[in-house]
Amino acid sequence: MAGSRLERFGTVFTRVRDLMRSAVIKPIEKPIWYDVYEAFPPKRDPLHVKPHTRLVTKKQETVSEIFYREDEVRAKFYVKYGTGPRPLDLSKSNFVSTCQRFVDQFTELKSHSELQDSALFEEAEKALLKEGIVLRRKGARPVAAESRDPVLELKLTDMLAEQQSVSADSEESPNTP
């Protein structure tokens, strides 16, 4: 029970002793330590003393922000490309996200060249494209409109209108032998 006063009055020994006297605990169920404690009691009874708390206003510590160089690259990557079409697969321990591959490529290029960050960003894009990783800009359509199947462009209302016109035509011209 939260806020119980029982733990503040008496010791564990006195509570167990009183429970044995009132026959709540049978003598054969008494704890192993009971006989030892009864034979060799402590010099001072262990009492619960509530610690004194002071109301002192602590000086608020400022935590410095931690930024790594690759965090800027990651931020630019996510602004330009977003998170991608698929969620990250964290169930695999060796999974490396597209963003992490980009950051690794960027840092590798930066260590070998003296180019500006914007030029390195483009070079990292080209390097990933050579590896077969296609980066799609945020909001861009994943497939070009010309290559899409025209059946996918049909609307339900158009399909129903066409079906009704076909059924009306078949009713007007009955098949007579």
CB 106 within 8 A of CB 135: no
> What is the tens place of the pLDDT at every residue in 93-117?
888 888 889 999 999 999 988 888 8
Closest to 95 measured CA to CA, from 106, 87, 83, 85:
87
Tell me the torsion sign for CA atoms 143, 149, 153, 155.
Answer: negative
pLDDT band at 145 (very low <50, low <70, confident <90, very high): very low
Vertex 29, ends 27 and 35: CA angle to 5°? 65
Angle, helices 69-81 vs 98-112, to 10°: value is 130
Q: What integer is the mean pLDDT of 6-18?
A: 79
Closest to 138 measured CA to CA, from 95, 86, 77:
77
